[in-house]
Structure 1
Amino acid sequence: MTSRPWGTTPRPPKEPRYPWHAGAATGIGSYPGDDPAEALRVVLGELPEMPHLPELPARGPGADIAGRTAGLLVDMPVHLEPSGWRFSDRPGRDTLRSRDHLARDLDVLEEVAGGHDGPFKIQVCGPWTLAASIELRHGDRALKDPGAVRDLAASLAEGVAAHVADVRRRLPAAEIVLQLDEPGLPAALAGTVPTASGFSRLRAVEEPVAEDTLRTVIETAGAYTVVHCCARNVPYGLLRGAGAKAISVDLRLVPERDDDAVGETIDAGTALFLGAVPATDTVLPSLQETGDPVQGLWRRFGFPAAQLAEQVVITPACGMAGASPRYVREALKRCRDTARMLYEAAD
């Protein structure tokens, strides 16, 4: 446990500090099924204050996290090999399928949620996780080649900026929150990402390089950005240095050894999206048992309870593509009810 007296001299809030109202909840990204309209209606019904654009990987290649984001890349087409996604010389049916999935989702978004006037979250794969997921033309992961990573980040930044602008056009009254999914970043920093053959590991990425690359995408996108990392060893300082306004984590994977990094993150005013609700089918604990770990984390630092309700957003632990539709509704409702309970407890 950290010995620093976090929260003894809280900073006065700047208004408006966050795009959401106190006591907010949202989802992470993926859902079961293949009907974007139905998934979006569920999200809007259960998370009306901060809904997000559902991702439906069950639709097949191009709807997965890497393929979906690869469709946004500018002048860097991809195609699908048995080993996964690989860069191509020209756009083919796999790139077009990725773009078609997203185009349909955005048409549905405009039709179903075009009048939404609060924060609305969209998700794309971050540059480091994408670089570990796409292969170069000769088969090695893009992560192996620093020049390829730079090109990928620049292309992604341009594509994401255009995507954000397109969503803003379709939701003119909404404030767009951009989530960059980076579950692969800790492994890239630790040098534990396997090569394409699986027989060795790629060289560790230096933290300044990782931070600069992530900053390129965040700054170019021009939206309030949250970085989601559901792995262990979340690099809180690096993410803040890259310009992330919020950090999304699985609450179960926040050990006390991270207290200094988490305390500094809270003290800096960076929001935390805390995954407090299991993402796959289970018997949910009571509402109080769901909120206790969130309050327990906050009490370790001594920050005011009212600040928790403003600075923390409650989410599922991760994406919910593996859950049943019935459980998805229960889990999203539990996120919403937990956030409300924490808000009311702070009054």
Structure 2
Amino acid sequence: MSPDTTLVTLTGDGTFRVPDPAQRARLNLPDDPYLAALLRLRALLGDDLDSQIATRLYLPSALGQDPTDHVLPATLAMLGDTTGDLASYGWRLGTGAGQAWRRAHEQWERMLGAARIALHGYEGPLMTTALGPATLTASTFLQSGERTLGDPGAVRDLPILLAEGLVEHLERVRDHVPGAKQHVLLREDAVAAVHEGRIPTPSGRRRYDPVPADVIGRLWRRLVVSLEDFGLSADEITLGIGANIELLRAARDAGVRRLAMGPRRMPDLSTPAGRTLWEAVAEEVDRGAVLELIVDPRPGGMLGPELERMLDTWRCLGHTDADAAGVAVIAHTGIAHEVDQGKRDPALQPDASSLLDEPAITDMLRIAPQWAERLVP
């Protein structure tokens, strides 16, 4: 499909709750959970819906089978030349490879092995998801028990380690699924809390100092450069940036074209902050940026209202519905919103209910034609 004809692209947040044994039997899926998950995702997202609605298949970073099967440990398993383990307070770096750390590596190995079988002959887009460097600093701990965020040297090293690990992982994905067009989603669930100084220290009695947007932008730039050196274009890297104008500008200065934002986090256009942010978003779109909207598609979720609010805002800014053509929708169950709002510590392990499942993805697919009709020029 030509990007010029695509009205909307549909994908997920990198998670997929593995079908249970009863579902696997009903759908005639294999017993292996990794193979079953990938086969089901390929059936759901492996083909575009029509000539104007595209899909982006992804390798799940989390199936939710146990505490090591989530996006954070999956990202840590990618870090180059790094070891760690799961302590009572969270994932700790640099302590030697503990059992949980080895298990997280095993999860990725099994997913890659399943990809060779389930995605044989596949030639469409294929996305890898990882937590971004700012979120990793808030989500992990050092041997001292201090968060990585508290060590400037460790903060500087993280993008390099993540870049090395991601590139190695992408090379292996290319070997396993040679026809796939690779894409990377960098989830920065906690970047707003890092930027605004809302991450608590281990004692809980104070907060870490705010990290300026330009410093976070330099972390992103190091990572983006490495991904571009691997061969990805700016159109094949999506970065979650929260809902902050300084972070928006830092991302664009870092060379990011695809910006993932949650409409529910955006301040209302009627407020001064909302007007400033939305106008900046519109300006960046005019300059070539592409929006990827993070929405909850589940029954009772906010998919319809969030998309409707986005179009209402777009019109108030003097644009037409058709000006939003090309947007992507990232299905997500809302845990990133809880982290962003300070309701959840990014270091805490989520439970399986926070992961996407088949009904959530099918609900997104169901509403997509109505959404696309609104975007026809």
**Smaller-chain TM-score range?**
0.7 to 0.9
The 4+ residue runs of structure 1 with deviation greater than 6 A are: none
Whether the 8 Å contact between 1:190 and 1:205 is mirrored in structure 2 is yes
Among candidates 295, 300, 314, match of residue 329 of structure 2: 314
Residues in 1 aligned to 2:82 and 2:265: alpha-carbon distance in whole angstroms: 35
* Cα distance change of structure 1 residues 43 and 290 upon mapping to structure 2, 3 Å threshold: farther
AA matched with 1:316: A
Matches for 1:43-192 after TM superposition, within 5 Å: 43-47=41-45, 48=47, 49-192=55-198
Provide, for residues 298-334 of structure 1, a one-character-per-residue CA deviation record: whole Å limited to 9, x for no partner: 3233445444222x01232446852684532432323
Residues in 2 aligned to 1:297 and 1:107: alpha-carbon distance in whole angstroms: 45
- Greater CA deviation, 253-262 or 323-332? 323-332
AA matched with 1:298: W
For the pair 1:334 / 2:354, whether they are aligned, the reply is no
For the pair 1:264 / 2:287, whether they are aligned, the reply is no
Question: Partner residue of 1:282?
Answer: 300
AA matched with 2:289: T
Question: Partner residue of 1:233?
Answer: 244
* Cα distance change of structure 1 residues 306 and 143 upon mapping to structure 2, 3 Å threshold: same
Residues in 2 aligned to 1:146 and 1:82: alpha-carbon distance in whole angstroms: 24
Question: Partner residue of 2:315?
Answer: 299
AA matched with 1:337: P
Residues in 1 aligned to 2:291 and 2:312: alpha-carbon distance in whole angstroms: 14
Residues in 2 aligned to 1:135 and 1:335: alpha-carbon distance in whole angstroms: 41
AA matched with 1:264: E
Aligned residue for 1:132, secondary structure, equals helix
Provide, for residues 150-196 of structure 1, a one-character-per-residue CA deviation record: whole Å limited to 9, x for no partner: 12221111111111222222222222110001011111111111112
Q: CA deviation at 1:57?
A: 4.6
Gaps of 5+ in 1: 1-15
* Cα distance change of structure 1 residues 324 and 275 upon mapping to structure 2, 3 Å threshold: closer
AA matched with 1:333: L
Residues in 1 aligned to 2:59 and 2:191: alpha-carbon distance in whole angstroms: 23
Compute the TM-score of the two structures, normalised by the length of structure 1: 0.84
Residues in 2 aligned to 1:113 and 1:319: alpha-carbon distance in whole angstroms: 28
Residues in 2 aligned to 1:290 and 1:84: alpha-carbon distance in whole angstroms: 33
Provide, for residues 250-289 of structure 1, a one-character-per-residue CA deviation record: whole Å limited to 9, x for no partner: 222222212122112212211111134x25552788x7x6
Whether the 8 Å contact between 1:316 and 1:332 is mirrored in structure 2 is yes
Q: CA deviation at 1:125?
A: 0.8
- Greater CA deviation, 186-195 or 214-223? 214-223
Aligned residue for 1:178, secondary structure, equals strand
Whether the 8 Å contact between 2:12 and 2:361 is mirrored in structure 1 is no
Aligned residue for 2:12, secondary structure, equals coil
Aligned residue for 1:24, secondary structure, equals strand
- Greater CA deviation, 317-326 or 194-203? 317-326
Residues in 1 aligned to 2:190 and 2:96: alpha-carbon distance in whole angstroms: 27
Q: CA deviation at 1:206?
A: 1.8
For the pair 1:39 / 2:37, whether they are aligned, the reply is yes
Aligned residue for 1:116, secondary structure, equals coil
Q: CA deviation at 1:201?
A: 0.3
Aligned residue for 2:64, secondary structure, equals helix
Residues in 1 aligned to 2:135 and 2:123: alpha-carbon distance in whole angstroms: 31
Whether the 8 Å contact between 2:61 and 2:130 is mirrored in structure 1 is no
Residues in 1 aligned to 2:191 and 2:9: alpha-carbon distance in whole angstroms: 27
Structure number with the bigger relative contact order (C-alpha 8 A, sep ≥ 6) is 1
Residues in 2 aligned to 1:141 and 1:62: alpha-carbon distance in whole angstroms: 19
* Cα distance change of structure 1 residues 324 and 52 upon mapping to structure 2, 3 Å threshold: closer
AA matched with 1:28: D
Gaps of 5+ in 2: 20-32, 48-54, 336-351
